[in-house]
Amino acid sequence: MKKIIISLIFVGCIFGGGYLTKQIQYHNTTEYKLLTKGYTKEQYHTLKKYLNEQQLTSLLNLDVESEILNLVSMKDFKFNHLERYLAYQGPKDVQEKIHLVNADIDKLNIPYHESMIKFMDATYYIKDHMERYMAYQQSHSDLTIDEIITNVNSNLDYDYYTNIQDTDLSKKNLIIVNKYYKLDQNYIPELVSIDHAGHQATKETAEHFNEMIAAAKKEKGYTFKVNSAYRSYNTQNSLYQRYKNQHGFAWAESYSARPGHSEHQTGLAIDMVTSSSTFDNFEDTKEYQWLMNNAHKYGFILRYPKGKEHITGYHYESWHYRYVGKEIATKIHDLNITYEEYYAYFIK
Ligand SMILES: [Zn+2]
């Protein structure tokens, strides 16, 4: 009998002790702590499905919120952004909120607006421009999302010749020069002659130009006449001043570039017509049509196209071609966009 009692006590101790140890161990688990914090068992299992142990533990430092349960199961949810998702006074839609915070929109000093998602989904959206898109939309509510993006990417939310930057010369053949990007007064590219009249351009421009006109000659018997190619800062200055004196400021501004802002100073631009046409009627020639279909194959783009005057800031110029290289000229030709748009989205 004594033996039996001792045995029972012994067994009881083992089981009881085991139970106690288990209880203590369970109290140390994240599960227990989260339940104590206020999560239900069901909520805990949802969290566990999406979060690892370390992430679950860090939930102990946050208030219990049903929003957390909504967030964790969403596509593109990032745990390290959790507190920002929770703090962002953005859209009601949780998936959209994740989308915006992941793109750092919550860090901008602008209130949430439903257009934000539309901008982000647009083809040529540039992240750094969100504040400018939103501001531009306020004053241009008649424009579509894509139009706003095009205009802001082309800097049209700034007045011409304001917010001027030195152009990035490291872009070489792809440098941009317009009413917002300028070249230094002393910038002179390495030049070679492109014709017997003494017009000059960069070596690469000249080579491809000659290749292009040789092809036009061979295929169709067409010939072209260069009107202007490289122009120095000083030449541009005289030209602009002369236009201003002859036709007035507004005319000079829309037909000519201020010195430092002419693409002709890059050595990458060539104005050309045929021997029997002028700037005014070059667009009616077969030679022009040939260029429209073929110039990109030699690396040239029509720099100031018809219908894009508001983007380029210049009247349509059927005669002005800009060398950018074959691959990019083809892309611009196929996408049917201006160099302003291309530069902002693909190069800058
Ligand atoms: Zn020109």
Domain count, the chain: 3
Q: Minimal CA–CA distance to 303: which of 249, 341, 260?
A: 341
- With respect to residue 21, please indicate whether it lies within any of the assigned structural domains: no
Q: What are phi and psi of 59, to 5 degrees?
A: -65, -20
Enumerate residues 6+ apart whose C-beta is below 8 A from 89.
111, 112
Distance 271 CA to ligand 1 centre (A): 5
Q: Do 134 and 86 share a domain, yes or no? A: no
Q: Do 177 and 92 share a domain, yes or no? A: no
Q: Which two tokens stand for residue 34?
A: 């989260």
On the question of pLDDT at 219 being above 70, the answer is yes
Distance 7 CA to ligand 1 centre (A): 106
What confidence score (pLDDT) does residue 302 get?
A: 98
Domain of residue 78, residue span: 28-104
Q: Which two tokens stand for residue 336?
A: 């049917």
Q: Which two tokens stand for residue 249?
A: 């400021």
Q: What is the dihedral of CA 152, 155, 157, 158, to 10 degrees?
A: 170
Categorize the per-residue pLDDT at 9 as very low, low, confident or very high, splitting at 50, 70 and 90. Answer: low
Q: CA 179, 184, 188, 189 torsion: positive or negative?
A: negative
Distance 269 CA to ligand 1 centre (A): 7
- With respect to residue 7, please indicate whether it lies within any of the assigned structural domains: no
What confidence score (pLDDT) does residue 276 get?
A: 94
Distance 127 CA to ligand 1 centre (A): 33
- With respect to residue 127, please indicate whether it lies within any of the assigned structural domains: yes
CATH number at residue 275: 3.30.1380.10
Categorize the per-residue pLDDT at 5 as very low, low, confident or very high, splitting at 50, 70 and 90. Answer: low
Q: Do 74 and 201 share a domain, yes or no? A: no
On the question of pLDDT at 200 being above 80, the answer is yes
On the question of pLDDT at 174 being above 60, the answer is yes
Mean pLDDT of 181-185: 97
The stretches of 173-226 forming alpha helices (DSSP H) are 203-220
- With respect to residue 18, please indicate whether it lies within any of the assigned structural domains: no
- With respect to residue 299, please indicate whether it lies within any of the assigned structural domains: yes
Weakest-pLDDT range from 21-30, 68-77, 101-110, 243-252 = 21-30
Q: Do 135 and 173 share a domain, yes or no? A: no
Distance 313 CA to ligand 1 centre (A): 13
Q: Do 145 and 170 share a domain, yes or no? A: no
Distance 80 CA to ligand 1 centre (A): 52
The 10s digit of each residue's pLDDT in 85-140 is 999 999 999 999 999 999 999 999 899 999 999 999 999 999 999 999 999 999 99
- With respect to residue 286, please indicate whether it lies within any of the assigned structural domains: yes
Q: Do 179 and 122 share a domain, yes or no? A: no
On the question of pLDDT at 225 being above 90, the answer is yes
- With respect to residue 94, please indicate whether it lies within any of the assigned structural domains: yes
Parallel/antiparallel/unpaired status of strands 181-182 and 165-166? parallel
CA 268-269-274 angle, to 5 degrees, is 135
Q: Do 123 and 35 share a domain, yes or no? A: no
- With respect to residue 313, please indicate whether it lies within any of the assigned structural domains: yes
Q: What are phi and psi of 262, to 5 degrees?
A: -95, 135
Q: Do 300 and 170 share a domain, yes or no? A: yes
Distance 256 CA to ligand 1 centre (A): 9
Return the bridge partners of 302, or none.
Answer: 321
Mean pLDDT of 198-223: 98
Q: Do 181 and 41 share a domain, yes or no? A: no
Mean pLDDT of 264-273: 98
Q: What are phi and psi of 162, to 5 degrees?
A: -120, 165
Distance 125 CA to ligand 1 centre (A): 30
Q: Do 54 and 123 share a domain, yes or no? A: no
The 10s digit of each residue's pLDDT in 277-331 is 999 999 999 999 999 999 999 999 999 999 999 999 999 999 999 999 999 999 9
Instruction: Give the environment of ion ligand 1: residues with CB less than 5 A.
Output: 271, 320
Q: Do 187 and 336 share a domain, yes or no? A: yes
